Structures are given as structure tokens and as C-alpha cells.
């Protein structure tokens, strides 16, 4: 039997420190604070085996969010699994934008885990949301998240393509649609080794009853490279339909934009998360505005309807 500290130190030969801490705490069913407070506590064989399995899965790039089954977004915990894209911090900008718009009826297009729909509903009690997705599995996850946060009665989940299921006019549209091109996705997967990083090294955790092999600690040099490869590797584990959007990454966004005049009310507004070059391109084409993220990147495209309800165009 080994201590928490021994298992953590051994795991650092394979994982980044934060990943090791999060996964060890998850395997033990405790908080990271408890992990740090009682490092000499012994770990039973069953939980050690669980931790070993998590190390192997994370070492080949499987996202931590899938390994522990949840991801925090906008201060709320969302259940996630391989049926849905893992919510990213930058997508919180869409929630901020919707809440600031004063909208009372919102369409969340491609809801996935329901992160945007649930977050805006949870923070604005008078707001209602129509959330669409083509995936029945994603909608199942989203409905569970809405129920967990007590907003299921104000979110109407509908299966269908983009805005097609939206039959009424709405005040705002929020969309974090797939925006990776085939080439960008292929490059990311090539860098990450098609979902895996380097082949797993021999298990270096100490074995019960023996000292085990010496632990090789992670080196500072190359740490940034490994983190970047881990982030790219996660794409191989997420649903392709949630990240891939044609040859230029704009196929789905363009189709949604074309349908905005049908669903937006007078003075309505639409928010699309994009890569910066895409945001600039689409803003120029549609006389749109751009919101920058905290790093200064052009992240969200804003399109507004004119007083008659038609989209403003150049």
C-alpha cells in the first residue's frame, strides 16, 4: 500500500502536475485541498488501480473532463462524455454577450452539453431558451445538465439541423458551432499523434511490496510542448461532428447566418464564436462587429438585425 504523495510523485513522470493532482483526487473521491492536506495517507489497492488506469488514459491524450465526467463552465458544473464537445473557457464570452443583450428568448444553436443554454438560464430567471442539436445523444446530456441546475422548465430542447427547429422569432441567437477546417483538424491530429502522444512508457508507479523502478520526473524543458500536444490530442476524443465544418471551417456558420432573417426579431442580435481569421472575414462580409477575448483575440462575431427584422448587410 502506498501513500498519496508516493502515487502523485510517480505520476509526474507521465502527467503534468495539475493533471496528476486532479486525477488522483478524483480517484480517491476527495478534493485537491484534502489531497494536499494529508499527503501521507495510505491509498487502498482498488483506488490505486483506478488511478493507474486514469494515468494510462490521460497519457495518450484523453481529456481530463471525460475521465472525471464533468467540466466547470461559467461557475457551474456540467456533465460531459464523448457524445459532446467539452465546454471551453473562451465560450463564456457568448454567455456574457447574451446576458448583456437583454434578450428574453434565445436560440442556442448546436447546444452540445447545454452549457450556453443552461448558463444563461441559470443567471437570468426571466429568460427562456430554445436549444437545438442534431445529436440525440448530445440532447440527452444537455437535458440532464438543465435538470441538474434547475432550469429544465425554461429550456426547450429540439433535435434538428441548426436553426431549422426554431419556428418562432427570438431576441438573440448564440452559436458555438464547429469551425475547424479539415486541414486544421488534420494538422492538429498529426501533431498530437492521432489522439495519442508518445507511446506510453513502462508503468513507473511503485508496486506494493517493492521499491519499483526509479521515477523519472517531468523536465521543465518541453513542458509547454507537451501541454500543447495534450490539448490538440483531446480533439481526437471529441465528436468529429462537433469540431469539423467543411473545407474552410465556415460551412455551418454560413448556413446559420443565412437563416437569421427568418428567426431574429426586430433589433435582434446573433453571436457566433469563431477563430479570429474567420471572425474578420465574416464581419467584413456581413457588416458585423467583433468581440475580443481576454487575450485580445477576435473571438465572437456579432450580427444585428435592422429595425425591420432583416439582417444588416454591406
Pairwise CA distance, residues 166 & 128, whole Å: 13
State how beta strands 105-109 and 76-79 pair. unpaired
Pick the closest to residue 201 from 214, 184, 220, 189 (CA basis).
Answer: 214
Q: Do both 124 and 21 map to the same domain? A: no
Q: Do both 175 and 260 map to the same domain? A: yes
Domain CATH code at residue 148: 3.40.50.150
User: Is 236 part of any domain?
Assistant: no
Residues with Cβ within 8 Å of 182's Cβ and at least 6 positions away in sequence, in order, are: 244, 246, 247
pLDDT band at 210, cuts 50/70/90? very low
pLDDT band at 207, cuts 50/70/90? very low
Pairwise CA distance, residues 307 & 167, whole Å: 20
Q: Do both 40 and 82 map to the same domain? A: no
User: Is 7 part of any domain?
Assistant: yes
Q: What are phi and psi of 244, to 5 degrees?
A: -100, 135
271, β-bridge pairs: 174, 302
User: Is 201 part of any domain?
Assistant: no
Tens of pLDDT, residues 237-281: 887 777 766 677 788 999 999 999 999 999 999 999 998 888 999
Q: Do both 167 and 259 map to the same domain? A: yes
pLDDT band at 180, cuts 50/70/90? confident
Pairwise CA distance, residues 17 & 136, whole Å: 36
For residue 37, the enclosing domain spans 1-59
User: Is 125 part of any domain?
Assistant: yes
Q: Is the pLDDT of residue 214 over 50?
A: no
Q: Do both 163 and 42 map to the same domain? A: no
Cell representation of residue 230: 495534450
Tens of pLDDT, residues 157-172: 999 999 999 999 999 9
Q: Do both 150 and 248 map to the same domain? A: yes
Q: Do both 8 and 150 map to the same domain? A: no
Pick the closest to residue 73 from 142, 127, 137, 171 (CA basis).
Answer: 142
Pairwise CA distance, residues 163 & 133, whole Å: 9
User: Is 43 part of any domain?
Assistant: yes
Q: Do both 47 and 80 map to the same domain? A: no
DSSP letter string, 114-134: THHHHHHHHH-TT-EEEEEES
Helix then strand then coil, % of the chain, to nearest 5: 45, 20, 40
Mean pLDDT of 281-303: 94
Return mean pLDDT, the chain: 86
Which pLDDT does position 81 carry in this prediction? 97
Amino acid at each position: 500500500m502506498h501513500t498519496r504523495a508516493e502515487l502523485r510523485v510517480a505520476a509526474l513522470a507521465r502527467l503534468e502536475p495539475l493533471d496528476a493532482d486532479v486525477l488522483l483526487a478524483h480517484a480517491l473521491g476527495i478534493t485537491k485541498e484534502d489531497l494536499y492536506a494529508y499527503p501521507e495517507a495510505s491509498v487502498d489497492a482498488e483506488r490505486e488501480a483506478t488511478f493507474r488506469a486514469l494515468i494510462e488514459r490521460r497519457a495518450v491524450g484523453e481529456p481530463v473532463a471525460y475521465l472525471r465526467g464533468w467540466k466547470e463552465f461559467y461557475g457551474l458544473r456540467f456533465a460531459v462524455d464523448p457524445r459532446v464537445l467539452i465546454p471551453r473557457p473562451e465560450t463564456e464570452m457568448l454567455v456574457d454577450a447574451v446576458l448583456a443583450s437583454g434578450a428574453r428568448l434565445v436560440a442556442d444553436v448546436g447546444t452540445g452539453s447545454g452549457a450556453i443554454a443552461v448558463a444563461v438560464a441559470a443567471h437570468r430567471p426571466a429568460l427562456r431558451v430554445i436549444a437545438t442539436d442534431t445529436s440525440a445523444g448530445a440532447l440527452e446530456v444537455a437535458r440532464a445538465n438543465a435538470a441538474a441546475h434547475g432550469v429544465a422548465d425554461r429550456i426547450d430542447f429540439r433535435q434538428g439541423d441548426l436553426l431549422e427547429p426554431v419556428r418562432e422569432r427570438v431576441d438573440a441567437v448564440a452559436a458555438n458551432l464547429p469551425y475547424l477546417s479539415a486541414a486544421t483538424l488534420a494538422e492538429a491530429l498529426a501533431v498530437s499523434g492521432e489522439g495519442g502522444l508518445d507511446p506510453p512508457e513502462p508503468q513507473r508507479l511503485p508496486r506494493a511490496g517493492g521499491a519499483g523502478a526509479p521515477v523519472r520526473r517531468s523536465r521543465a524543458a518541453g513542458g509547454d510542448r507537451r501541454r500543447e500536444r495534450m490539448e490538440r490530442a483531446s480533439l481526437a476524443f471529441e465528436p468529429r461532428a462537433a469540431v469539423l465544418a467543411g473545407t474552410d471551417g465556415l460551412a455551418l456558420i454560413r448556413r446559420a447566418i443565412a437563416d437569421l432573417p427568418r428567426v431574429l426579431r426586430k433589433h435582434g442580435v446573433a453571436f457566433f464564436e469563431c477563430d479570429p481569421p474567420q471572425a474578420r472575414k465574416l464581419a467584413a462580409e456581413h457588416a458585423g462587429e467583433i468581440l475580443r477575448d481576454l487575450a485580445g483575440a477576435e473571438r465572437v462575431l456579432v450580427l444585428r438585425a435592422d429595425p425591420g427584422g432583416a439582417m444588416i448587410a454591406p
